[in-house]
């Protein structure tokens, strides 16, 4: 490709209803485009402090070590594990989807021993089985589970696992990449020792940073390490020396613009308020599923473990799932996700995360999907899908005293 042929950035408008990135608020894009200042400028250090304060509120934690790592959510996963795990350490890992599988892979790359507790993709990890594995495994350094499994749309109940971990003397590691700011997460009350997320899901910030929080208990375990952290870039002790107000030692150049954006996205989250934001995610998921039901499309997970922000639904066997997704993108500018791993070709993953979770987007998707499926002679009354969703919104309005 000749570089002279590469012109100004130019791409179509998109409605992002996939597994992330989600749509980004104009205020966040504006923050992103502010002039870059130095990573040791006192003005920027204030911005770091503010970002930490906002993150603590969203994570529901008082952890001093609460900050944004300079990498995506997957870097957060690796960072937590490479800091906590020393070669030979046993780690019990909940494996019921792609991201649980990734946790186990990274534990092994860190030299740890991953003890998988499996469940079928589409179901949560069974607490009883988890407890049995922990108790028969000898000393366990940590237990790691995924709060919101983005590959299957399944929610894992965290609170009882936190108690199990304390009893077993294990650290509790939680993947909150997709859950943070989209459903309740209470790091301190649920006894979580290390929790990481990504910016591009329910925070509705562009991808590129990983918010992370680590308890004093986990920091003490890191201080007791016999070997140096295998990663220099992700070494929490070195990163803390930059983020901590009294030190500010240079480690690497902070991604200034992305931190502006994260700060603004966190401000938007807290302006809406976490309870209102969680309720909004619930409502739009309910409306979407009501509409999809009319089209004969049903969720993979059972009702009590479904994620509101990531709706994993079974594609009817007769339907060419990739073709439908391509048509949604090409004709309507709407992105939804396909299946990963064992679910490839079998499911759609419809994200309603952060700014993407609106009635307009739900109704547009249902209408477009209805049109595409009826052309394929699948859906008989496609226009009733959006109507079913609209009925959910009307009902919710009545409950809130709003007359439609």
In the region spanning residues 54 to 113, those forming contacts with its own copies, defined by CB under 8 A, are 54, 57, 70-75, 77-78, 82, 102, 105-106, 108-111
- Lookup: tokens for 241: 């020396």
CB closer to its own copies out of 16 and 352: 16
CB of 364 to its own copies, least distance (A): 16
Q: How far is the C-alpha of 73 from the C-alpha of 52, rounded, in Å?
A: 17
CB closer to its own copies out of 11 and 247: 11
Residue 332 binds its own copies (CB under 8 A) = no
Which of 335, 343, 365, 393 forms a contact with its own copies (CB under 8 A)? 335
CB of 197 to its own copies, least distance (A): 12
Query: 27 φ, ψ to 5°?
Result: -65, -35
Least Cα distance to 72 among 205, 190, 165, 168 occurs for 205
Q: What angle do CA 38, 30, 183 make, to 5 degrees?
A: 100
CB closer to its own copies out of 343 and 390: 343
The string of DSSP letters for 305-334 reads GB-SSEEEEEPPTTS-HHHHHHHHHHHH-E
Q: How far is the C-alpha of 228 from the C-alpha of 396, rounded, in Å?
A: 54
Residue 3 binds its own copies (CB under 8 A) = yes
Least Cα distance to 91 among 81, 83, 99 occurs for 81
Q: What angle do CA 64, 67, 69 make, to 5 degrees?
A: 140
Query: 241 φ, ψ to 5°?
Result: -65, -25
CB closer to its own copies out of 69 and 283: 69
The tokens 């594990």 sit on which residue?
81
CB closer to its own copies out of 124 and 198: 198
CB of 131 to its own copies, least distance (A): 28
- SS3 state at 122: coil
Q: Which stretch binds its own copies (CB under 8 A): 252-260, 290-298, 310-318, 390-398?
A: 252-260
CB closer to its own copies out of 131 and 231: 231
Q: What angle do CA 70, 75, 77 make, to 5 degrees?
A: 135
Using CB under 8 A, which residues numbered 290 to 329 contact its own copies? 329
Residue 24 binds its own copies (CB under 8 A) = yes
CB closer to its own copies out of 264 and 389: 264
CB closer to its own copies out of 106 and 362: 106
CB of 13 to its own copies, least distance (A): 7
Using CB under 8 A, which residues numbered 349 to 368 contact its own copies? none
Residue 343 binds its own copies (CB under 8 A) = no
CB of 53 to its own copies, least distance (A): 4
Q: How far is the C-alpha of 208 from the C-alpha of 120, rounded, in Å?
A: 31
Residue 277 binds its own copies (CB under 8 A) = no
**What is the per-residue binding string for its own copies in 114-153, x denoting contact by CB under 8 A?**
----------------------------------------
Q: How far is the C-alpha of 84 from the C-alpha of 73, rounded, in Å?
A: 17
CB of 212 to its own copies, least distance (A): 13
Which of 97, 211, 255, 382 forms a contact with its own copies (CB under 8 A)? 255
Residue 376 binds its own copies (CB under 8 A) = no
Using CB under 8 A, which residues numbered 232 to 251 contact its own copies? 232-233, 250-251
Quick check: 157 and 183 in contact, CB under 8 A? no
Q: How do 90-95 and 210-214 pair as beta strands?
A: unpaired
Q: How many residues bind its own copies (CB under 8 A)?
A: 83
Length of the chain: 404
CB of 105 to its own copies, least distance (A): 6
Which of 153, 208, 339, 354 forms a contact with its own copies (CB under 8 A)? 208
Q: How far is the C-alpha of 347 from the C-alpha of 343, rounded, in Å?
A: 6
- From residue 350, alpha-carbon distances to 136, 293, 355, 358, 378 in Å are 39, 14, 14, 13, 19
Question: Residue 280, annotated ligand binder?
Answer: no
Which residues, 6+ apart, have CB-to-CB distance to 218 below 8 Å? 84, 171, 193, 194
Q: Which residues fall in the annotated binding site for substrate?
A: 349
Per the annotation, binding residues are: 349
């Amino acid at each position: 490709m000749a570089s002279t042929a590469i012109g100004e950035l130019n791409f179509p408008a998109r409605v992002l209803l996939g597994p992330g990135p989600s749509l980004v608020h104009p205020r966040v894009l504006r923050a992103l485009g502010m002039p870059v200042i130095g990573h040791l400028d006192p003005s920027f250090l204030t911005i770091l402090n503010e970002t930490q304060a906002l993150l603590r509120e969203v994570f529901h934690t008082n952890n001093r070590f609460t900050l944004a790592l300079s990498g995506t959510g997957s870097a957060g996963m690796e960072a937590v594990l490479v800091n906590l795990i020393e070669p030979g350490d046993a780690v019990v890992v909940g494996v019921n989807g792609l991201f649980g599988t990734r946790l186990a892979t990274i534990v092994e790359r860190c030299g740890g021993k991953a003890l998988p507790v499996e469940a079928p993709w589409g179901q949560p990890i069974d607490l009883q089985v988890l407890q049995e594995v922990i108790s028969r495994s000898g000393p366990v350094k940590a237990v790691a589970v995924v709060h919101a499994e983005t590959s299957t749309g399944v929610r894992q109940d965290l609170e009882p696992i936190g108690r199990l971990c304390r009893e077993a003397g294990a650290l509790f590691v939680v993947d909150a990449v997709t859950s943070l700011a989209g459903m309740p997460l209470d790091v301190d009350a649920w006894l979580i020792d290390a929790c990481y997320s990504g910016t591009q899901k329910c925070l509705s910030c562009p991808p590129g940073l990983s918010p992370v929080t680590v308890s004093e208990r986990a920091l003490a375990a890191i201080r007791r390490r016999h070997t140096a952290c295998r990663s220099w870039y992700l070494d929490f002790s070195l990163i803390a020396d930059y983020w901590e107000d009294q030190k500010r030692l240079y480690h690497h150049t902070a991604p200034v613009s992305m931190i502006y954006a994260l700060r603004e996205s966190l401000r938007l989250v807290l302006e809406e308020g976490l309870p209102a934001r969680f309720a909004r995610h619930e409502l739009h998921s309910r409306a979407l599923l009501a509409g999809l039901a009319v089209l004969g499309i049903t969720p993979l997970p059972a009702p009590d473990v479904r994620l509101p922000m990531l709706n994993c639904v079974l594609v009817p066997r007769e339907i060419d799932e990739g073709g439908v997704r391509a048509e949604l993108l090409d004709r309507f500018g709407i992105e939804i996700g396909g299946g990963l791993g064992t679910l490839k070709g079998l499911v759609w993953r419809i994200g309603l995360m952060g700014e993407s979770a609106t009635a307009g987007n739900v109704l547009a998707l249902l209408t477009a999907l209805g049109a595409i499926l009826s052309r394929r002679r699948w859906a008989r009354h496609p226009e009733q899908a959006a109507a079913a969703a609209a009925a959910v919104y009307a009902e919710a309005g009545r409950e809130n005293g709003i007359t439609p």
